[in-house]
């Protein structure tokens, strides 16, 4: 079984300090605020800034967070509306190559993030009410509240990566 969440990253996360005890509602509020948080973080930057230890530039991290939110929001809608609960793993690095993350303009990436965060908040709020549970190929059962916390952590963790890039 694939380790995920607090058991993989530590509680709080050893790297970004994310506290996994937040409520599902707090996780939704946090993700709703992600476009504004990222907007402040990258204000006045180009997006192609790099860190020697990281394969992705600033704009690429924004695109990853966007695609992660879209992917999980879509899965929860599918499970809630059709009872197709089984979901596979997905490889974010393959997606990064397919979409050419490092070539995406920062302004475009931030625009996509706004739409993704709004759609995600709608999907996750409905899934929380519904009690939707996904069956993940590598992780086993993933409740809507697990998805909410995992996705909130992903956004906070990569904001931390972006800060590392911009301060190096």
152 is a site residue for Zn ion (CB under 5 A): no
Q: How many other CB atoms sit within 10 Å of the CB of residue 135?
A: 13
Q: CA-to-CA distance for 147 and 145, rounded, in angstroms?
A: 5
Q: Which is nearer to Zn ion, 18 or 61 (CB)?
A: 18
164 is a site residue for Zn ion (CB under 5 A): no
Alpha helices in the chain (DSSP H): 6-9, 24-32, 34-41, 58-82, 92-99, 106-130, 144-166
In whole angstroms, how close is the CB of 37 to Zn ion at the nearest point? 14
In whole angstroms, how close is the CB of 72 to Zn ion at the nearest point? 17
Report CA torsion sign: 25, 41, 119, 127.
Answer: negative
Q: Which is nearer to Zn ion, 79 or 165 (CB)?
A: 165
Q: CA-to-CA distance for 157 and 155, rounded, in angstroms?
A: 6
18 is a site residue for Zn ion (CB under 5 A): yes
Give CA separation, 1 vs 48, 79, 163, in Å.
36, 22, 32
13 is a site residue for Zn ion (CB under 5 A): yes
Of 16, 87, 116, 144, the one binding Zn ion (CB under 5 A) is: 16
61 is a site residue for Zn ion (CB under 5 A): no
Of 37, 45, 99, 157, the one binding Zn ion (CB under 5 A) is: 157
> By the criterion CB under 5 A, which residues form the site for Zn ion?
13, 15-16, 18, 157
């Amino acid at each position: 079984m694939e380790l995920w969440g607090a058991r993989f990253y530590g509680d709080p996360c050893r790297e970004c300090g994310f506290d996994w005890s937040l409520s599902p509602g707090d996780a939704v509020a946090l993700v709703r605020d992600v476009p504004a948080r990222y907007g402040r973080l990258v204000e006045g930057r180009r997006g192609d800034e790099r860190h020697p230890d990281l394969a992705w530039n600033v704009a690429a991290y924004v695109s990853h967070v966007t695609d992660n939110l879209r992917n999980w929001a879509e899965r929860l809608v599918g499970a809630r509306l059709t009872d197709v609960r089984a979901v596979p793993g997905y490889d974010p690095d393959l997606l990064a190559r397919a979409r050419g993350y490092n070539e995406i303009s920062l302004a475009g990436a931030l625009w996509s993030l706004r739409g993704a965060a709004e759609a995600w908040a709608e999907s996750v709020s409905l899934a929380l009410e519904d009690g939707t549970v996904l069956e993940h190929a590598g992780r086993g059962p993933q409740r809507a509240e697990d998805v909410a916390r995992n996705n909130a952590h992903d956004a906070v963790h990569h904001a931390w990566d972006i800060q590392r890039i911009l301060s190096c």
